[in-house]
Structure 1
């Protein structure tokens, strides 16, 4: 669809089609979506598109208001209910929908609002964490680094904060802090979550990374995959995953789970590809990301890590 046709469609054809369907069905576009589209990503994406294309002044003001709330990370447990109620009531009033007759619409639409602006807020939260630089003078940062070693190498004691042992789990040098520069604390938080919440899969991946022929730098690859996960989140490709799997306001924990899936699946893809050496990493990563993007185009995609791992 070229830009000229898209402009013509949104400016002229779409309003006419909406008016005709409203007259024949007695339902506005948002009602038709919430009643006729399967829940999860298909419904949420359709509602999001409808709201963003709306030319009604009150709806546009509502969208701007919710964008501001999400960008400032004010969509919290304390005021979430109030925000959702206000958004639903605005649409009910603007679209002249009887809340008693169409109470199910209010529930379905409110859930869509929660997902749409919860996702936008998650983007802001992840970006905030990414901008926090690892600081060895901050005790919490140091503790998380030591925890990463503990979960990945439970049977080997770390001899010192600066040690060649860090290279065993895939850092480049003797001090891991230099490897977090690109992704900041987000890179460390991702690695730690994978290692602690998915211990067996993480150990499985670590074992593969130490393969004499097809090995790779576990931590460095993990930080690169943090970058991939962040890009997929930021450009909206990951909406399919979050809209399908989240049952409430999306949290940073859910982003860590998404990252863990990517790491586990990348390891399988790497082994199946059988690259000649680590210099093939960029090409393999590019193909892997292309596959993930293709999968996420399917609105029914739902990623989960297989808890049963095979010995390869």
Structure 2
């Protein structure tokens, strides 16, 4: 029954496309690029159209772009050549005159950049995550010490192995044991928040030290790295990135997404007024569902609203 439904849906879609092409003189991609609102609505519609295409040349193009983005080759001058090649392929296959439909070329090129830029971003973020924290790596150690300096600028760290790490929310005397599954990505997220958003990070850290509603800043931060990565991997974050990115999305945009989650989780945690840290899992699940609901909205685009409150 399910296969029959898929067949009927595919057949109906083909008939509608044929009818609209005949009556409007425009292919589906043109109708999307001219008719859909810019940002996520247009990009998502183009993405769906390309992936549902039965045209062998379009299928080969999609597979080619997938391979390029999975191997992080969409960058620099290469990016311009790849985008131009993708657009030209569609122009030829769909018999579109670029001189007449120059706006389509512009809109479609932007969509291709965002669709496969997002796919490449997933690969880039994953590449950072699989790097395990190595205490023998000078760069890793520097980032960790920079995190301490950013969060505790007025407090000298006595030793590399110290209970002081617990003051910024690590579980033991050596933070390297806490990164585990999130690898270097967990550290880089925390460091970005602490250095790029110093005020908000200090604000959140102060809340984490509250005698009643306190929590482990670093451990919660690493948990939120996992949440942000999950949204990125399963595509739930696409609307946010499609609406936010003005050019090829970079890992910096992922870090900013993470910072928003951390800042908003802290606010939500305080609103929930937890009895103790044992409520973390339940509150985190509710927060995650709230974010998931917002991410499903066509105009989803987070903005950090800085408001220092007293608790």
**Counterparts of 2:276 and 2:4 in 1: how far apart (Å)?**
48
- The root-mean-square deviation of aligned C-alpha atoms, in Å, is 1.1
Q: Relative to 1, partners in 2 of residues 1:82 and 1:131: Cα closer, same or farther, differing over 3 Å?
A: same
**Counterparts of 1:65 and 1:123 in 2: how far apart (Å)?**
17
Tell me the equivalent position of 2:229: 230
Tell me the equivalent position of 1:119: 118
**Counterparts of 1:103 and 1:63 in 2: how far apart (Å)?**
22
**Counterparts of 1:222 and 1:290 in 2: how far apart (Å)?**
18
Tell me the equivalent position of 2:85: 86
- The SS at the match of 1:61 is helix
The alignment's TM-score, normalised by the length of structure 1, stands at: 0.98
User: Where in structure 1 are there 5+ consecutive unaligned residues?
Assistant: none
Please give the per-residue CA displacement for 1:100-123, whole angstroms capped at 9, x wherever unaligned: 000110010000000000000000
Is 1:102 aligned with 2:101?
yes
**Counterparts of 2:123 and 2:136 in 1: how far apart (Å)?**
26
Tell me the equivalent position of 1:158: 157
Note the C-alpha offset of 1:311.
Answer: 2.9
Please give the per-residue CA displacement for 1:57-77, whole angstroms capped at 9, x wherever unaligned: 100000000000000110111
**Counterparts of 1:9 and 1:137 in 2: how far apart (Å)?**
60
User: Where in structure 2 are there 5+ consecutive unaligned residues?
Assistant: none
Shifted more, 6-15 versus 279-288: the winner is 6-15
- The SS at the match of 2:54 is coil
Note the C-alpha offset of 1:276.
Answer: 1.2
**Counterparts of 1:222 and 1:252 in 2: how far apart (Å)?**
17
Note the C-alpha offset of 1:310.
Answer: 2.5
Note the C-alpha offset of 1:8.
Answer: 3.3
Please give the per-residue CA displacement for 1:161-213, whole angstroms capped at 9, x wherever unaligned: 00110000000000000001110000000000000001111111101101111
**Counterparts of 1:195 and 1:131 in 2: how far apart (Å)?**
22
**Counterparts of 2:105 and 2:13 in 1: how far apart (Å)?**
24
Number of residue pairs the alignment of both structures matches: 311
**Counterparts of 1:220 and 1:210 in 2: how far apart (Å)?**
13
